[in-house]
């Protein structure tokens, strides 16, 4: 119940950020800025790391992403974007490992669906080239993330996770321009360093995501 309150608050903060920016009337602050909303769909590959050997018979998954970004033009074709996002990773895996919490070594088998949720802030430089109403872009940067929860559906257990994995994001795609509105579609790759699966005694998990990202960008 404590986790649900935290997650709900986090989503409210994201909505508050959007509405306060759009309706604050800060025209001087907004001048020259662009705001974007994005949605992504990904194939996910979970990987595991532990002090003992891990037998991994299968693992696969998918992810969805929701983000809002603020972009500032630096020069002719170069931009800098700050992005706030929410990622939902759903994966299935089967692993076998040993662990020791101080009471002797134990054997564990995890065969489960895992639902991981995390938020991130990204600092992402971008290069754009425009040809009339169509252009292309490439960007990439660092993601600072925080895990919110790991829910093991098969085991019917939920863990609040205090991991802060670093990530990278790489994108390449097309822009379609309509005056102050720009439609964006891209191929996106994201990878994160390891984070806790249950606690420090159990394996750590990391995610690599590749997929498609759709967005709309408004220029002030």
Residue 1 included in any domain? no
Burial class of residue 30 (count of CB atoms within 10 Å of its CB; 0-12, 13-18, 19+): middle
Look up the CATH number of the domain holding residue 45: 2.40.160.20
What is the per-residue pLDDT across 72-128, written as a single tens digit (0 to 9) for each? 999 889 999 999 999 999 999 999 999 988 888 899 889 999 999 999 999 999 999
Given a cut of 80, is residue 218 above it in pLDDT?
yes
pLDDT of residue 58: 81
Task: Please check whether residue 3 lies inside any domain of the structure.
Answer: no
In a domain, 74, yes or no: yes
Exposure of 42 in the CB half-sphere (CA atoms within 13 A): 27
- Give the CA radius of gyration of the chain: 20
What is the pLDDT, as a whole number, of residue 26?
A: 45
- Residue 101's pLDDT is 84
The answer to whether position 142 is within a domain reads: yes
pLDDT at 189: 98
Structural domain for 84, as ranges: 27-219
Q: Counting Cβ atoms within 10 Å, is residue 118 exposed (0-12), middle (13-18) or buried (19+)?
A: buried
Element (H, E) at 179: none
What is the Cα–Cα distance from 96 to 38, expressed in whole angstroms?
A: 37
- pLDDT score recorded for residue 14: 54
Say if pTM beats, i.e. exceeds, 0.85.
no
Let me know if residue 17 belongs to a domain. no
Q: Is the pLDDT of residue 20 over 80?
A: no
Residue 203 has pLDDT above 90, yes or no: yes
Q: What is the DSSP letter of 203?
A: P
Determine, yes or no, domain membership for 21: no
Domain presence at residue 136: yes
* Residues 50-63: tens digit of each pLDDT: 988 898 878 899 99
Is 184 within the bounds of a domain? yes
Per-residue pLDDT for 10 more than 80? no
Q: What is the pLDDT of residue 25?
A: 44
- Cα–Cα distance, 48 to 178 (Å, whole number): 45
- pLDDT tens per residue across span 137-179: 999 999 999 999 999 988 788 988 889 999 999 999 999 999 8
Q: How many domains, in total, are found in the chain?
A: 1
């Amino acid at each position: 119940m404590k986790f649900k309150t935290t997650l709900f608050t986090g989503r409210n903060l994201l909505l508050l950020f959007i509405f306060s920016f759009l309706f604050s009337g800060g025209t001087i602050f907004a001048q020259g800025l662009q705001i974007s909303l994005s949605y992504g769909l990904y194939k996910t590959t979970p990987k595991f790391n532990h002090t003992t050997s891990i037998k991994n018979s299968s693992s696969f998954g998918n992810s969805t992403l929701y983000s809002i970004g603020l972009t500032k033009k630096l020069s002719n074709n170069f931009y800098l974007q700050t992005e706030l996002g929410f990622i939902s990773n759903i994966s299935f895996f089967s692993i076998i490992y040993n662990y020791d919490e101080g009471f002797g070594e134990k054997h564990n088998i995890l065969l489960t669906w895992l639902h991981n949720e995390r938020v991130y802030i990204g600092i992402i430089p971008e290069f754009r080239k425009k040809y009339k109403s169509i252009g292309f872009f490439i960007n990439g940067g660092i993601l600072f993330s925080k895990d919110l929860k790991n829910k093991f559906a098969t085991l019917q257990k939920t863990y609040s996770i205090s991991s802060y994995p670093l990530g990278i994001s790489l994108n390449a795609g097309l822009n379609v321009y309509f005056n102050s509105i720009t439609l964006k579609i891209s191929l996106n790759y994201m990878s994160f360093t390891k984070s806790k699966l249950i606690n420090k005694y159990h394996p750590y998990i990391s995610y690599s995501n590749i997929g498609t990202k759709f967005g709309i960008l408004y220029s002030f």
